[in-house]
Amino acid sequence: MAEPLLLVEGLCKRYGGVVATDDFSLRVADGELCAIIGPNGAGKTTLITQLSGELAPDSGRIVFAGRDVTRLPAHARALGGFARSFQITSIFGEFTAWQNVALAVQAQAGHSFRLWRNASRDPALARPALGFLEQVGLAGRAGVVATELSHGEKRALEIAMALATRPRLLLLDEPMAGMGPEESARMVALLASLKGRLAIVLVEHDMDAVFALADRVVVLVSGRVIAAGSSDEVRADAGVRKAYLGEGDQPC
């Protein structure tokens, strides 16, 4: 079997008596969109924070592009090609959408943030920043101050900022949270447009979105994988229906 881009083996994390991640293993190929679902408290956030490097596992290992990154902190993983879509707090509210992405482009290029004033007039920064905004459907909102963007636009901006770091793997923690149907549909379309270009690990409660987007769905219950497979396989899995979707319910 070809070496996956992301290989997770035997990850474990306990909080006192609570086993939040229980012998979790995962393989994600280049360009694959892998969704992780599970009921509240299943351990999804604990898992994604271990993948991003914000939380150290008790045991197990994480290998990215052939390199063991288990003990690398988040910023070092980011340099190696990990990007996490952080909560909206990572956006500079008083800056325009364009300026936020330009900062991410600048950070990726390794320039000091103190050069910002000059850099803001630099076409080498301006063009790619606009390009990333275009990719997420925000080109028409480039000059809008971030605080004035809608919730869905802010989430899209975060993704543009993550893309500006030119990641090979994007970790997304509930990108549809707090969205209405129209904003969710726009986010699904955006993620569909990214599919195949980079690997994505998506934690999401919106089942319609997950089943529409994922190449593979992994179901967590009490920190353990109870099923993994295509959307159709997971929807049809009796154990998933019983433990997660609700016994007797129609599949989503």
Ligand X SMILES: Nc1ncnc2c1ncn2[C@@H]1O[C@H](COP(=O)(O)OP(=O)(O)OP(=O)(O)O)[C@@H](O)[C@H]1O
Residue 150's contacts (CB-CB under 8 Å, 6 or more residues apart) are 183
Is residue 3 classed as helix, strand or coil in its secondary structure? coil
Q: Where are the beta strands (DSSP E) in 66-162?
A: 67-68, 82-85
User: Is 42 or 149 the residue whose CB approaches ligand X more closely?
Assistant: 42
| 216 belongs to the binding site for ligand X (CB under 6 A) | no
Comparison of 174 and 237: residue with beta carbon closer to ligand X: 174
In angstroms, the Cα distances linking 197 to 58, 106, 225, 233 are: 32, 22, 26, 24
Q: Which stretch binds ligand X (CB under 6 A): 12-20, 67-75, 93-101, 230-238?
A: 12-20
Query: Binding to ligand X by residue 43, rule CB under 6 A?
Result: yes
Binding ligand X (rule: CB under 6 A), the pick from 5, 33, 42, 136 is: 42
Q: Find the shortest distance in angstroms from Cβ 179 to ligand X.
A: 16
Among 1, 2, 17, 40, binds ligand X (CB under 6 A): 40
What tokens appear for 251 in the block? 């599949």
Q: Does 45 bind ligand X (CB under 6 A)?
A: yes
Question: To the nearest whole angstrom, how small is the minimum distance from the Cβ of residue 152 to ligand X?
Answer: 20
Counted residue by residue, the chain has a size of 252
Binding mask 106-145 for ligand X (x = CB under 6 A): ----------------------------------------
Q: Which residues contact 232 (CB under 8 A, 6 or more apart)?
A: none
User: Taking the complex as a whole, how short is the minimal distance between the CB of residue 2 and ligand X, in angstroms?
Assistant: 30
* Residue 46 interacting with ligand X (CB under 6 A): yes
Please give the Cα distance from 10 to 6 (Å, whole number). 13
- Residue 52 binds ligand X (CB under 6 A): no
Give 36 or 102: the residue with its C-beta nearer to ligand X. 36
Segment near ligand X (CB under 6 A); pick from 4-12, 36-44, 114-122, 230-238: 36-44
**C-alpha distances in angstroms, 217 versus 164, 167, 249?**
27, 21, 19
- Indicate which single residue of 6, 26, 44, 161 sits in contact with ligand X (rule: CB under 6 A): 44
Q: Select 13 or 241, whichever has its Cβ closest to ligand X.
A: 13
Least distance in Å: CB of 97 to ligand X? 28
DSSP state for residue 241 in the 8-state scheme = I
Q: Would you count residue 38 as binding ligand X (CB under 6 A)?
A: yes
- The SS3 assignment for 100 reads helix
20 binds ligand X (CB under 6 A): yes
Q: Express the helix, strand and coil content of the chain in percent, nearest 5 each.
A: 40, 25, 30
* Of 202, 251, 201, 241, residue with least CA distance to 221: 241
The answer to whether 192 touches 132, Cβ cutoff 8 Å, is no
Pull the structure tokens for residue 162.
């993550």
**Residue ranges binding ligand X (CB under 6 A):** 15, 18, 20, 38, 40-46
